[in-house]
Structure 1
Amino acid sequence: MNQSALIRPDWTPATIALMVLGFVVFWPLGLAMLAYILFGEKLKTFKKDANSTVDGMCSAFKRGNRANWTQPHRTGNVAFDDWREAELARLDEERRKLDEMREEFDSYVRELRRAKDQDEFDRFMRDRRNGGSGPVAPFEAN
């Protein structure tokens, strides 16, 4: 890094003055300058690591190869890896069964609601045909 730069992540008179000025004008600016002074050297490494991680994930998406990011990595212990794969397959089967049961229950509840609504509607129509004015409102103004 060029150490002759006026504003660099270090305790120089310029950065200290900017930090103090930032606190005077608007305290988050001073706090941001303090963070830059303390952690500025690490920003390049952080940015490089973050960019390489995101680039790797995006390249897996672009290739359409989900195995790179969904499959667990092999540990080198064949017995453990086989056991883990069997457990994950069992858990996937359990999740599929639970999803099917949830779908069945949701359709059952929908059918119950439809039947209840139909019963209420039939009762209303029957009362209306019999000359009734329908159910009495729970609140009547005097």
Structure 2
Amino acid sequence: MTPTPTATHTMPRMGWFSRAEAWLDERGKGAWIAAMVLGSIFVWPVGLALLAYMIWSKRMFNSSCRNRAMTRHASHGFKTSGNSAFDAYKADMLKRLEDEQHAFESFLERLREAKDKSEFDSFMDERAEAAKSDDNA
């Protein structure tokens, strides 16, 4: 099942736990309970951990997880200040920070790829030299 277009555009990049939490929040309290029951059936500590998390975060007692998730993602987790100029500045700054984060993550990915290529080239050179020395022997 693919996420809705609005969910992917309004959510900032998150870790796997935050994405799973948001996914369950979008589906409501029943999804949390189903995850807890399935976790208990397959790996009981997972179910117990989910139950503890649900109680600790007060998800068991909220009227709706969905409304809270939509409010949180719509405003990047911040309430409006009442000053429209400041809110516009804040939204612009958050957008720039998200863009910088994306650029930095892509830079790190290119850096990892370059390192992997360098290590692979080094391995291939060592292998070629070992094959050449075996042929000379």
User: Structure 2-normalised TM-score?
Assistant: 0.50
* Greater Rg by CA: 1
What is the rounded CA distance, in whole Å, between the counterparts of 2:122 and 2:135 in structure 1?
20
Is 1:128 the counterpart of 2:131? The answer is no
Aligned counterpart, 2:115: 109
Shift of 1:56: 4.0
Q: Please, which runs of 5 or more residues in structure 1 have no aligned partner?
A: 1-49, 132-142
Is 1:96 the counterpart of 2:102? The answer is yes
After superposing the two structures, state which structure 1 stretch, 83-92 or 65-74, moved more.
65-74
SS at match of 1:75: coil
Q: Which has the higher contact order (CA 8 A, sep 6+)?
A: 2
The aligned length equals: 79
| Larger helix percent | 2
Structure 2 CA distance for partners of 1:53 and 1:73, relative to 1, 3 Å: farther
What is the rounded CA distance, in whole Å, between the counterparts of 1:51 and 1:102 in structure 2?
35
Aligned counterpart, 1:67: 70
Shift of 1:75: 1.2
Residues 59-91 of structure 1: per-residue CA shift (max 9 Å, x gap): 12xx7x743223221111111111100000000
State percent identity of aligned pairs: 18
User: RMSD of the TM alignment (CA)?
Assistant: 2.5
What is the rounded CA distance, in whole Å, between the counterparts of 2:63 and 2:118 in structure 1?
46
Residues 2-47 of structure 1: per-residue CA shift (max 9 Å, x gap): xxxxxxxxxxxxxxxxxxxxxxxxxxxxxxxxxxxxxxxxxxxxxx
Contact 1:57 1:69 in 2 (8 A): no
User: Structure 1-normalised TM-score?
Assistant: 0.49
What is the rounded CA distance, in whole Å, between the counterparts of 1:93 and 1:116 in structure 2?
35
